[in-house]
Amino acid sequence: MPPPIEGGSTVLAAAEAELLDLSVESGRADWVHATYITDDTADLATRATVRFLAATGRWARVASALPRHGLSRSDARKVDLLRTGLPLIATDDPALSRELAATVNSMEATYAKGRHTPIGSTEAVDLQALSRILSGTRDPVVLEDVWNGWHRVGRSLRQPFARYVELGNLGARELGFPDLGAVWRSRYDLPPDDFAREAERLWAEVRPLYESLHAYVRGRLRERYGPDTVPERGPIPAHLLGNMWAQSWESIYPVVAPSGTSAAYDLTRILVDRGTRPTDLVRYAEGFFVSLGLPPLPATFWERSMFERPRDREVVCHASAWDLDLVDDLRIKMCIEITAEDFATVHHELGHNYYQRAYAGQPYLFRNGAHDGFHEAVGDTIALSVTPEYLVRIGLLESSPDPAHDVGLLLLRALEKIAFLPFGLLVDRWRWDVFSGAIAPAEYNRSWWELTARYQGVAPPSARPESEFDPGAKYHVAANVPYMRYFLAHILQFQFHRALVRVAGESGPLHRASIYGSAAVGERLRAMLEMGASTEWPDALETLTGERRMEARGLLEYFAPLQRWLDDQTRRLPRGW
């Protein structure tokens, strides 16, 4: 092997220096736009994004031309990350590059401004308010109205989305990829087609558990709403599942909870009765990370984050974690509500922040997760330790409920975690086919619902014509955020949890184990987090878990008691759809 050529290292050092500056500039402009949506902030964010995308594309093309045989292993990885690290690659044409950035910013702003006036109301309300109705109401007429009302937000995004696909593909092809979907799949240290097969392998491992849950939930909803609304066989109507995209079903737990079992406690009620504030939820989450031996968040985090929806302006409420200077200007942006769901979400977002802080000492191109599923899984791994025993230790429960309630607790968690899996997979399966041209613009909506039926076993409440654009009713589609990371995270978090529980010396069932307060876990976690993207993900996975392959064994072990119970409950019910 020839020694590394100095020219390659020099090129990459120059690339990293410029991209670091432009990333900080773009991130600050994006923050201002996301927390203060106006035409002016949109223009500023677009201009900064254009500069960053153009520079990234230019350096990716330069780096791609370097002779690979002369690069060190580290520099070769940097070249790969330059080519695949961003969800968008600007074309070499400045006008088209600006159009691409403006299109994405416009779609995100349109989504954030979406409103609907529910039945019986005179006021148009936002997604958060509509989601509260969807999760808390049982009247199918109201549910269908709310569901339809929000999904109309996609109509105006259909044409911009088609143009975004065209422009995104142009940039991808300039780097030698067939389309943008191939770029997205190439970031997992596997050939694109191999990664697609890997995702399907993981889904095949967990699908039997999902089918048991689906059969049980369909049967209980049929009891509640009747055979005219819920079929004995076939997909479940989406508007009855308590979530705008039917991606998580925990809010319908009261409807499907089996007699003789319960979730044992209501964390939302506990938090509300205690007068918990949004910042209190964040303090609880910070305390968990500190208990592992990690440092408290910087003072600027508390000064600069957005924890609540402002009353005086439009903002993007979708929860996200930010690292504005790629060192320690850590923040979250979230319109926190005092609920069990947001209690877990805050733990998730801080997982991003602690990951960002841990790899801040890496070179710019390595300041990221081992792959994006790792980034999503870290905080969710922590949230799996929000067990009754943990809640007792931090004073939110007086005593841990009897294990006889565990089926209820597991069912509630499965309605969140297992119900999500097929949705987490189908969003990008759909976009991959859109980018490749296998799905034409004239087939956007039909193909979306075909994949939803295939993977989720879910159907819209009424016919959805091609004039609608229901994928656009999901933030990540409107905002150009790849979604496979969430599917992978829902597998990895249980793999991480299983390994770290062993490090903590915990015994007993996985669903009762908590890593809270374990310094040994903190050391193991820090070792993986500090690696960032400096090595291929199997190395990072091995550092944390001792394993080199993503596996669903942790998930299946965690839910094993529920699987046995569901199989018993659904013996006489039809399975599949």
Residues marked active site are found at 318-319, 348-349, 352, 376, 476, 486
Which ranges of 403-518 would DSSP assign to H, the alpha helix?
Answer: 406-417, 420-436, 444-456, 475-478, 484-503
Let me know how long the chain is. 577
Rounded Cα–Cα distance for residues 227 and 229 (Å): 5
Output the CA angle 25-30-34, nearest 5 degrees.
155
User: DSSP states of 51-67 as a string?
Assistant: HHHHHHHHHHHHHHTS-
CB atoms within 10 A of CB 482: 18
Q: How many CA atoms lie within 13 A of 157 on its CB side?
A: 32
Distances from the Cα of 377 to the Cα of 144, 401, 543, angstroms = 33, 27, 15
Nearest to 521 by CA among 392, 400, 378, 390: 378
Strands (E), 292-444: 320-323, 330-333
Which residue do the tokens 């792959």 mark?
Answer: 371
- Burial label for 275, CB within 10 Å (0-12, 13-18, 19+), is exposed
> 437 with 431: CB under 8 angstroms?
no
- Position of tokens 């979250």? 332
**CA dist., res. 77 & res. 534, Å (int):** 8
- Alpha-carbon distance of 342 to 124, in angstroms, equals 24
Q: From start to end of 271-400, where are the E strands?
A: 320-323, 330-333
CA neighbours closer than 13 Å in the CB half-sphere of residue 119? 13
Coil, strand or helix at 175: coil
Q: Judge contact between 119 and 141, C-beta under 8 A.
A: yes
How many other CB atoms are there within 10 angstroms of residue 220's CB atom?
18
CA 257 to chain centre: 27
Closest CA to 316 of 115, 29, 35: 35
Residues forming a β-bridge with 306: 333
